[in-house]
Structure 1
Amino acid sequence: MKLACAALAVTVGLLAPAPARAADTPQLARPTGPHPELVRPTGHQPVGTAAIHLTDTSRPDPWVPGSAARELMVTVWYPAAGPGGRRARYMSPRESELYLAGKRITDLPADTLSRVRTYAYTDARPAGRAHSLPLVVLSPGYTQPRGTLTGLAEDLASHGYVVAGIDHTHETYAVTFPGGRIATCAACELTEDDAFFRKLYAGRAADVSFVLDRLTGPKPAWRGSSLIDASRIAMSGHSAGGASAIAAMAGDPRIDAGIDMDGTTRGIVPSGGLSRPFLFLGTQAEHSPGGRDVSWDDDWKRLTGWRRWIVVAGAVHGSFTDLTLLADQLGIDLGATITGTRSLELTRRYNRAFFDRHLRHRPQPLLDRASPRYPEVIIAAR
């Protein structure tokens, strides 16, 4: 009974946008190995990574009354001059412990997620010509840390993108700042209604704009910032992070294109429309046209530029992150009919196709018609 309860907690609290149905209740099996791992990036360039602490003194933290500033932790993934050095940690042991406790997952060792093998090298020397690399910002789902999009970030970096993943402080269970100080999930104590999520989207949009200021402005926060081409910036996010891509684009014209991966939008596309390229990428069960989440149907009508609505058969909510890949390796059945390895491949391939098309202006037939290589993927509207 304890194992089944833990598995249900994974589906409802970790991955699913709505409560799981009884028929979807997963079963927890014996872990397949002590060291879960991501999938090797598909590009030719080694990947470096660096963690950056940023403080925005122009605004208080939206979740902590009386705060003087908004603090953020950001991970930058980038093409590196060569492999070598120390592999980046997926999470610290304490972050893993607090995350699993927050999700009420008690049947895995507390440090499980700190043992995930990644493919990026900490503080490796950045590679590239000045102002030559497009920038992609990643925003995770509500209660999820930035690390859950590592598999996507590493792959984009291996293909020549700079990628900035943001931890939106107090919206996940553990954000670790220099010196070991940890911010926990203050937002988790509040009622999750439409007003709550609109506040969250607005706060994340402000976070993104501040990160862009610090990565591309006159006093850059990262030593490789001179490599970034500030005229080519895009954003992708999962769940609440995907909806926040719309809010960020509406408020910041520097963001040229965006992707919402399975995130309910709640009518946040401006009434005057959004004319820059946008991609909806979601589960077939939840986000098909006319499906259970009708917010995409409403907001689709106000996307006035290049647009695609793509759904993936057999995917679940977490399939667009590392979580289903890791769940497979830990023996957790989340109810998806495609493997975590396959879903990560699809997530990587369609994100990169979109960015290659709109930031590098390379034709991408993958976004225009069905591909026999990816029969699970359906172009639902265009």
Structure 2
Amino acid sequence: MGLFQTNKLSAATLLNTFVLAPWLFQMRTFEMLLITVNVLLLGWLIFARNKSQRGLLVGFGISILFMVTHGLVEGLRWPMIPVYLITLFPVVSVALRHIFKPKGQKQNAPRRIRIILVTTLAALYSFIAVVLPILFPIFSFEKPTGPYKIGTVSYHWVDNMREEHFTKAPDDKRELMVQIWYPASSTTKGKTAPYVSHPDIFANGYSKALNMPKLLFTSIGFVKTHAIEEAELSDKESTYPVLLFSHGLNGVKNQNTFEVEQLASHGYIVVGIDHTYHSTTSVFPDGRVVHFVPQESNTIDYLDKLNEKWVEDATFVLNQVEKLAKNDPDHRFTDRMDMQNVGMFGHSFGGATSTQMLMTDSRIKAAINMDGGLYGKLRIPADGLKKPFLLMSADDTLTGTENMSDEYIASQGTTRAELTKSFSDTFARQESVTVGGNYWMKIKYMKHMGFSDMYLISPVFERMEGVDVRSAHRLINDYSLDFFDHYLKQQPFERMEQNIGDHPEFTLQRG
């Protein structure tokens, strides 16, 4: 399901985003200070009379100081270019004052017109200088609420038992990039992991995936997480439950950082899988880059068959995790993973994979499917799954094609009638979701990509889709944690059982 289905980017959307944006207060400190100083400097250059050359040089010096500090501490980026250019205005002003010297009263009228024109252009320029960093901010993740710090480490695993069908070489094997987040020692110190390790490559991947300009995604290179690279595992508990995470088609292993960090901070070891050639971008240790390869069809039969490959990926990764739990070469996870309490969660196609793993792999004790169609080899039995399961759905997804534009449907290479039938057939598989005491949460005012980090990249995305993404993420985190705490840590429910029924933000059903 695509990112933008019903709304189009418009001037009204941009203006609404700017006027209402609490995002202004999420900007980086020196970035905000530089914008403030330079806009004030521009106003002084236009309206102050009798500006001395010394004053212009002082203004230039102050602006340069803030810009250099911002560049060294936070990093320069393209949405700030109009602000950076204001730094040069005092120097330009010195040059222009010698060109446009008034030579008598006859120049007054043209000069007044020139001042009005300059003021108008300056106001427009200032607006652009302020609004660009707001529309494309360096977003941050909310601080996880758990008692643990977070560590992270990445792996490159090769399944020598499976051939890679997307390459021409007959001896190529299936390769997967995996990232693990885990509870870290309270005394651990080290480098905080970036959101993406290869910003230019991932910006290019997002650009191709969403068919949008690459410039819109370059800011992700400045985003930091709360995870410390290769941190020591916390010794507060002897072992920690394990959760597998599977992204959606054209997603990435860390697309739910808002969620995996929260779970790790509460004592879970979370294993994120990049499904190579089905992820937006995978970067291997030797520098090879693999971008998303579109699926051949959107039919249910094709997606059912494709999902079997994802289940194979997840099974292989779980096997590798078991090896780590027994004998980690880095001595981090040896005997520290509670392999008797393993769960899985996923978004979209990864949610379907989680459901299939729950049904096919006895090691998976509980699973959450976030807005995923129930694709795969097996159907949920009429008498229920017999294992703990939570389906989370966006109310927009449950409307099928009702809110989809004709343009979006055409871009999928299908017709409204065909897509409506596909949705109907997929929804029919949900009839037994809650049978046997399982749960179905339907989140209101929600869209498909609201279950991931995507809408955090820019408030434009959030406004276009009409999702309060921060609130949605807190809701997802609260109920995901409560669900896994109950079934994997044997803790009493704090939310699930207490909130069955209809609520302003969601409806929660139980069979």
Report what 1:341 is aligned to.
Answer: 470
Count of aligned residue pairs for this structure pair = 361
Give % identity.
26
Counterpart Cα distance in 1 of 2:430 and 2:379 = 6
> 153, 162, 173: which one pairs with 1:59?
162
How far 1:308 sits from its partner (Å)? 0.4
TM-score by length of 2: 0.65
User: Could you give the per-residue CA deviations for residues 214-247 of structure 1, whole angstroms, max 9, x where no partner exists?
Assistant: 1113454764322110000000000000011112
Q: How does 1:230-249 map to 2 (within 5 A)?
A: 230-249=339-358
> 366, 375, 385: which one pairs with 1:257?
366
How far 1:325 sits from its partner (Å)? 2.6
Q: What's the secondary structure of 1:356's corresponding residue? A: helix
Does structure 2 retain, via aligned residues, the 8 Å contact 1:316–1:335? no
Counterpart Cα distance in 2 of 1:281 and 1:302 = 11
Distance 1:208 1:338, change over 3 A: same
Give the letter for the 2:286 counterpart. Answer: G
Counterpart Cα distance in 1 of 2:463 and 2:242 = 33
Distance 1:210 1:128, change over 3 A: farther
> 299, 319, 339: which one pairs with 2:450?
319
Distance 1:190 1:354, change over 3 A: same
Q: What's the secondary structure of 1:216's corresponding residue? A: helix
Counterpart Cα distance in 1 of 2:143 and 2:228 = 13
Q: What's the secondary structure of 2:461's corresponding residue? A: coil
Q: Which has the higher contact order (CA 8 A, sep 6+)?
A: 1
How far 1:81 sits from its partner (Å)? 0.9
Give the letter for the 2:507 counterpart. Answer: I
1:197 aligns with 2:308: no
Give the letter for the 2:194 counterpart. Answer: R
User: Could you give the per-residue CA deviations for residues 243-280 of structure 1, whole angstroms, max 9, x where no partner exists?
Assistant: 11112222211000111100111474255752211111
Mark the runs of 5 or more structure 1 residues left unpaired by the alignment.
Answer: 1-11
Counterpart Cα distance in 2 of 1:169 and 1:31 = 33
Counterpart Cα distance in 1 of 2:446 and 2:171 = 40
1:351 aligns with 2:486: no
Counterpart Cα distance in 1 of 2:316 and 2:236 = 24
How far 1:67 sits from its partner (Å)? 4.9
> 2, 8, 25: which one pairs with 1:25?
8
Give the letter for the 2:271 counterpart. Answer: A
- RMSD of equivalent CA atoms: 2.8
Give the letter for the 2:241 counterpart. Answer: P
User: Could you give the per-residue CA deviations for residues 54-97 of structure 1, whole angstroms, max 9, x where no partner exists?
Assistant: 01101112444635311100100001113531111211211222
Counterpart Cα distance in 2 of 1:306 and 1:221 = 41
Give the letter for the 1:225 counterpart. Answer: F
Does structure 2 retain, via aligned residues, the 8 Å contact 1:131–1:230? no
> 350, 353, 366: which one pairs with 2:495?
366
Does structure 1 retain, via aligned residues, the 8 Å contact 2:349–2:372? yes
User: Could you give the per-residue CA deviations for residues 157-195 of structure 1, whole angstroms, max 9, x where no partner exists?
Assistant: 000000001000010231011122112223x16223223
Q: What's the secondary structure of 1:265's corresponding residue? A: coil
Counterpart Cα distance in 2 of 1:367 and 1:96 = 38
